[in-house]
């Protein structure tokens, strides 16, 4: 009987650790738009594409080179302002298919989309 309890306790601990791990691994990003200080696409978002994405996306869709990125994202339906976190450009920014964005870069991107994805 004692042994049975020990095994149960052990399993319970594993469960706790697993839950905690899930919790930490989950990367929840909550944008906090500031109407007085909106994110600038050309000054803050485009430079991220420049450093992390155009190694490949200078020649394959979406083309993210400076000056072209905005139109290509809009016209190619990579942005969903109704549900920003569902935007293809956001979802693909850290799925490991290329160079992942850092969480602060993702926050910038998501905040910009939440603010209406303006060409600013």
Q: Helices in the chain by DSSP H: which ranges?
A: 2-25, 46-52, 54-57, 69-75, 88-91, 103-114
In the complex, least distance from residue 49 CB atom to ligand HEC, rounded to whole angstroms = 6
With respect to ligand HEC, which residue has the nearer C-beta, 5 or 83? Answer: 83
Angle of CA points 102, 108, 111, to nearest 5°: 135
Residue with smaller CB distance to ligand HEC, 20 or 58 = 58
Q: Which residue is nearest to ligand HEC (CB)?
A: 98
Q: Closest separation between CB of residue 21 and ligand HEC, Å?
A: 26
Question: CA nearest 69: which of 48, 86, 38?
Answer: 48
Interface residues with ligand HEC (CB under 6 A) are 52-53, 55-57, 60-62, 78, 88-89, 92-93, 97-99, 101
- Output 92 or 107, the one with its CB closest to ligand HEC: 92
Provide, rounded to whole angstroms, the least separation between the CB of residue 75 and ligand HEC.
12
* Distance in Å, CB of 58 to ligand HEC, minimum: 10
The answer to whether 119 and 40 are in contact (CB under 8 A) is: no
48: number of CA atoms within 13 Å, CB side? Answer: 23
CA atoms within 13 A on the CB side of 118: 9
Residue 75 or residue 99: which is nearer to ligand HEC going by CB?
A: 99
């Amino acid at each position: 009987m004692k042994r049975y309890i020990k095994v149960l306790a052990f399993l319970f601990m594993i469960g706790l650790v697993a839950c905690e791990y899930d919790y930490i691994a989950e990367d929840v990003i909550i944008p906090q738009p500031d109407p007085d200080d909106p994110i600038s696409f050309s000054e803050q978002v485009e430079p991220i594409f420049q450093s992390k994405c155009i190694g490949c996306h200078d020649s394959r869709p979406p083309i993210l080179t400076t000056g072209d990125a905005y139109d290509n994202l809009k016209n190619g339906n990579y942005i969903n302002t109704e549900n920003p976190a569902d935007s293809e450009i956001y979802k693909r920014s850290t799925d490991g298919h290329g160079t992942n964005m850092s969480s602060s870069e993702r926050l910038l991107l998501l905040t910009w989309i939440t603010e209406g994805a303006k060409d600013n």
